[in-house]
Structures are given as C-alpha cells and as structure tokens.
C-alpha cells in the first residue's frame, strides 16, 4: 500500500517536472500512405525534426488506396478532430475538402514565391476563392507506353496522333497474326481512371470540360468525335479487347507486361514493374506523351493525378504544420525525392535543376505534364464525386453502345447541370 502510494507520488512529481516542457513542445501528426512517397517521408521527418528542435512528428501510416484513406479522413474531419495536423490528399479531393472548411489556407503561411514555384495546374485544383489550400507534393499522369521492339520491327515511327496509334496497332496486329495480341489497352472499367481516360481523349481533340464561359461542354462536337474514336477502337477498328471495359490500371499493366499489347495508356507507376529484371517486356518498351488528334498538337492530353499536402483547419499547431508542409515541398526535399525515389516534383523549378539531367526518366515524365489536364474538381468542389460518377456512367453507356455517343454526352450534360443547380 505504502509502496504504491510512493510510486504514484513519484509519477506525479515526474509529470509536474515534465509539464513545462510538454507545453512548449509541438507534437505534429502527419498522415500519408506508407508506399506513396517511398522512403522520403522518414528522411524528411528526421531532417525537419533536426532543423526544428522541440517539434516532433509522428507518422500516421494510412492506406495507399485513395478511397480508404478518404473515408478515414472524412470521419475525423467531420468530427473536427485536431489530428492529423498534416495530411496527404488526392488532387481530386482538394476542392471539396477546402470548400467544406476542413483545410487551413496555406496562403497565410507560405511566401508568394514558394507558391509561385508550385505546378500551376495542380495549384489550380487546390485553389478556392483565390486562396491556396494545399501544396503539391508529387505529380503523376498518364502516358502512352509502347512496345519499341514491335514498332521497330515494322518500321513504324513513334506515333504522335490517335490516327497513327490506330494505324500502327492494325499493322502490328496483322503482321504478328497472334489473336492474343491487342493494339491498345487501358483502364476503361467504370472507375475514376475511365474519366481520366476520357479527359485525355477529349483534351487531345481540343475539347474542355467547361467552355470559356464556364458552361458544361462535355457534349461539344470535339468531345463527341473523340468519344466516338474510343467506341470505334473497340467495335470498328477492333484494336482493343472487349475486356478493356472491366480493366483497372493494373489489369492493363498485366496484359502489357505479358507482351499482349502494343500500346497502353496508364499512369507512370507502371514503369517500375515493367522494367523489372523479371519482366518479359523489360528493355522492349518506352513511353511518350499521350497522343493528340490530327490538327490539335497542343491538345492537353496528359490526365494528371497526384498528391498534395494540406493542414487540418482544426490543428492545434497550424504554424508548425505549415512549416512541415513547406519543408516537404521545398526545392531541396523535392529534388532529393526526384533523384532517389523517382517522384515527380510538385514544383516546376526543380525540373530545371542541373542534377535532373541524371534523372532522365523523370524529366521525360515532366515534359508530358506541360500538356496536362486536371479533373474539374476545384470548380465543382463537394459535387465532384457525383459529377465523376455521372461521367463514368454515361461514358460507359457509350462504350457499351447502350446509347449513342451524342445521346450519352447530352444526358451527361443535362445531369451535370442539374447537379450544379444550373
């Protein structure tokens, strides 16, 4: 009894001693997937802690599947939880989260020149009412991967346009005579990736989601023509397998890696598995910017994705949290991530760094981002998930020939206008 009392008194005394230290110390919680940013998270946290004595950062590892981590965040943010202080968000959530008041505006903490260095199309996705709510961490986009050995065999130059891709696919498929070989694969299942694909195709024909006056323009003649090409690739040109309608990115990657496709349009994460030592297509493939349609060499056809860092609006350490965001997105940290972990920087000035000459792969990826197209998530905010769902449904209707392309896109326009309350 006596012993226990002494013990409790000792703990109380120790706590009293610690209390002043605890009050000044800042314990930040940062939430990001364990794979997404590779080994950079731990490196950056260590360096940040060393540079900011008294501040410690706890890494809360969340799922790398965006839908799962989104549900986790939404639950916590709805309950006004002060943690995590800093968290990684998918580019398409930025507008919605900011509109809901869950994010602290970073414009108040970061300098104008820091913000000016960030990738502009990414920044636009995180800007609401002129305020920046998240800082681009890394960027990824879709690219056209192709079998360089097959194109060489048939003396076909790397295609620049969709017309050339279709023609090249036919030549190779006929030449090889292998019924198991397809011309083009991608992720056309009813997923977010399908909407990204559609933006690539329509952007390649000079179409935009909203027209210059801000009206929904998903059924513009350019968009209809581009969507028709997608449909024709399945049923008329027959260079795409029917199964593309159930493919997710990794399904397409598997087929391409087995040597069963000439072209593939997916995100850059496939580069590592495709070039692995045991990959059947290692050394036999390359990638280029997504094709455009004839007459639209400036068409924005690289569907962009990626992650940003944001500060929780209910965080108790906003200042320190913003500093952490600034550190992760600083020139040096981003350059290190590019060189050591192949993560495409979220700021544009890093691409000009002399060291980037060594990172030829990343530089090439970055070039394609110049013709990037982001999803309309910033302007539509918390209505974006519903708009994406509508687009996925109507594009699928067209691809399955349940509706004509024109009818599907007209229906999409009507539905989106009603969602937006227009």
- Of 362-381, binders to other proteins (CB under 8 A) are none
- What b-and-e string marks burial along 344-370, b requiring 16 or more CB atoms within 10 Å of the CB? bbbbbebbebeebeebeebbebbebbe
The CA distances from residue 245 to 97, 159, 240, 396, in Å, are 31, 24, 10, 8
Question: Minimum distance from CB of 97 to other proteins (Å)?
Answer: 9
Total chain residues near other proteins (CB under 8 A) = 30
Question: Minimum distance from CB of 386 to other proteins (Å)?
Answer: 5
Which is closer to other proteins, CB of 191 or CB of 361?
191
Which is closer to other proteins, CB of 77 or CB of 409?
77
Which is closer to other proteins, CB of 302 or CB of 397?
397
Which is closer to other proteins, CB of 80 or CB of 153?
80
Provide the strand spans (E) within 195-342: 261-267, 285-288, 302-311
Candidates 61, 80, 153, 236: give the one binding other proteins (CB under 8 A): 80
CB atoms within 10 A of CB 193: 23
Candidates 52, 59, 81, 100: give the one binding other proteins (CB under 8 A): 100
Candidates 379, 389, 404, 410: give the one binding other proteins (CB under 8 A): 389
Question: Minimum distance from CB of 61 to other proteins (Å)?
Answer: 22
Candidates 48, 102, 307, 369: give the one binding other proteins (CB under 8 A): 102
Candidates 47, 74, 115, 339: give the one binding other proteins (CB under 8 A): 74
Stretch that binds other proteins, among 119-127, 130-138, 186-194, 345-353 (CB under 8 A): 186-194
Task: Kindly report the three-state secondary structure assignment for every residue of 280-296.
Answer: CCCCCEEEECCCECCCC
43, 312, 73, 60: CA torsion to nearest 10? 30
Cα-Cα-Cα-Cα dihedral sign, residues 229, 163, 143, 150: positive
Candidates 159, 193, 241, 306: give the one binding other proteins (CB under 8 A): 241
| Rounded-to-integer distance, Cα 211 and Cα 74, Å | 32
- Contact of 182 with 261, CB cutoff 8 Å: yes
54 sits in the region (left: phi over 0; alpha: psi -120 to 50; else beta) called left
Which is closer to other proteins, CB of 316 or CB of 402?
402
Candidates 131, 260, 284, 363: give the one binding other proteins (CB under 8 A): 260
Which is closer to other proteins, CB of 40 or CB of 62?
62
| Rounded-to-integer distance, Cα 375 and Cα 120, Å | 14
Candidates 191, 225, 339, 356: give the one binding other proteins (CB under 8 A): 191
State which H helix or E strand residue 26 sits in.
Answer: strand 26-33
Residues 6+ apart with CB under 8 A from 342: 271, 272, 359, 361, 362
Stretch that binds other proteins, among 17-25, 183-191, 337-345, 352-360 (CB under 8 A): 183-191
Q: What is the token pair recorded at 416?
A: 């989106």
Which is closer to other proteins, CB of 242 or CB of 294?
242
CB atoms within 10 A of CB 17: 9
Question: Minimum distance from CB of 399 to other proteins (Å)?
Answer: 9
Candidates 72, 245, 356, 361: give the one binding other proteins (CB under 8 A): 245
Residues 6+ apart with CB under 8 A from 311: 85, 86, 103, 104, 106, 109, 318, 321, 322, 325
Which is closer to other proteins, CB of 33 or CB of 385?
385
String marking each residue 28-67 x if it binds other proteins according to CB under 8 A:
---------------------------------------x
Tell me the β-bridge partners of 140.
305
Candidates 376, 397, 409, 412: give the one binding other proteins (CB under 8 A): 397
Rg (the chain; Cα; Å)? 24
| Rounded-to-integer distance, Cα 77 and Cα 66, Å | 16
Question: Minimum distance from CB of 361 to other proteins (Å)?
Answer: 29
Stretch that binds other proteins, among 283-291, 294-302, 356-364, 394-402 (CB under 8 A): 394-402
Question: Minimum distance from CB of 317 to other proteins (Å)?
Answer: 21
Q: What is the token pair recorded at 236?
A: 């008329």
Binding site for other proteins (CB under 8 A): 67, 71, 74, 77-78, 80, 100-102, 189-191, 241-243, 245-246, 251, 254-255, 260, 382, 385-386, 389, 393, 396-397, 400, 402
């Amino acid at each position: 009894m006596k012993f226990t009392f002494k013990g409790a008194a000792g703990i109380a005394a120790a706590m009293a001693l610690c209390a002043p230290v605890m009050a000044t110390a800042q314990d930040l919680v940062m939430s990001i997937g364990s794979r997404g940013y590779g080994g950079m998270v731990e490196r950056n946290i260590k360096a940040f802690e060393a540079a900011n004595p008294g501040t410690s950062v706890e890494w809360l590892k969340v799922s790398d599947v965006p839908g799962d981590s989104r549900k986790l965040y939404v639950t916590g943010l709805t309950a006004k939880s002060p943690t995590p202080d800093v968290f990684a968000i998918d580019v398409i959530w930025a507008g919605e989260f900011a509109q809901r008041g869950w994010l602290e505006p970073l414009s108040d903490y970061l300098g104008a020149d820091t913000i000016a260095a960030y990738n502009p199309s990414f920044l636009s996705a995180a800007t609401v009412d002129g305020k920046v709510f998240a800082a681009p961490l890394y960027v990824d986009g879709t690219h056209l991967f192709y079998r360089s050995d097959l194109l060489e065999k048939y003396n076909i130059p790397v295609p620049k346009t969709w017309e050339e891709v279709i023609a090249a696919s036919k030549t190779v498929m006929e030449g090889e005579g292998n019924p198991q070989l397809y011309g083009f694969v991608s992720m056309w299942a009813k997923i977010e990736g399908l909407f990204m694909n559609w933006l690539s195709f329509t952007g390649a024909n000079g179409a935009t989601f909203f027209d210059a006056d801000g009206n929904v323009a998903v059924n513009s003649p350019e968009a209809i023509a581009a969507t028709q090409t997608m449909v024709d690739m399945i049923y008329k040109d027959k260079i795409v397998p029917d199964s593309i309608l159930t493919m997710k990115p990794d399904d397409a990657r598997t087929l391409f890696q087995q040597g069963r496709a000439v072209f593939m349009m997916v995100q850059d994460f496939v580069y590592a598995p495709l070039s692995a030592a045991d990959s059947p297509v290692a050394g036999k493939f390359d990638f280029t910017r997504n094709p455009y349609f004839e007459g639209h060499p400036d068409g924005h056809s690289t569907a962009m994705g990626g992650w940003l860092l944001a500060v929780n609006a209910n965080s108790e350490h906003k200042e320190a949290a913003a500093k952490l965001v600034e550190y992760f997105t600083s020139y040096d940290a981003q350059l290190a991530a590019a060189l050591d972990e192949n993560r495409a920087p979220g700021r544009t000035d890093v691409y000009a760094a002399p060291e980037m000459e060594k990172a030829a792969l990343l530089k090439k990826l970055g070039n394609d981002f110049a013709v990037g197209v982001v999803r309309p998530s910033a302007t539509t905010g918390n209505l974006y998930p519903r708009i994406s769902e509508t687009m996925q449904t109507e594009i699928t209707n067209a691809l399955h020939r349940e509706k004509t392309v024109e009818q599907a896109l007209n229906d999409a326009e009507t539905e989106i206008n009603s969602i937006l309350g227009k």
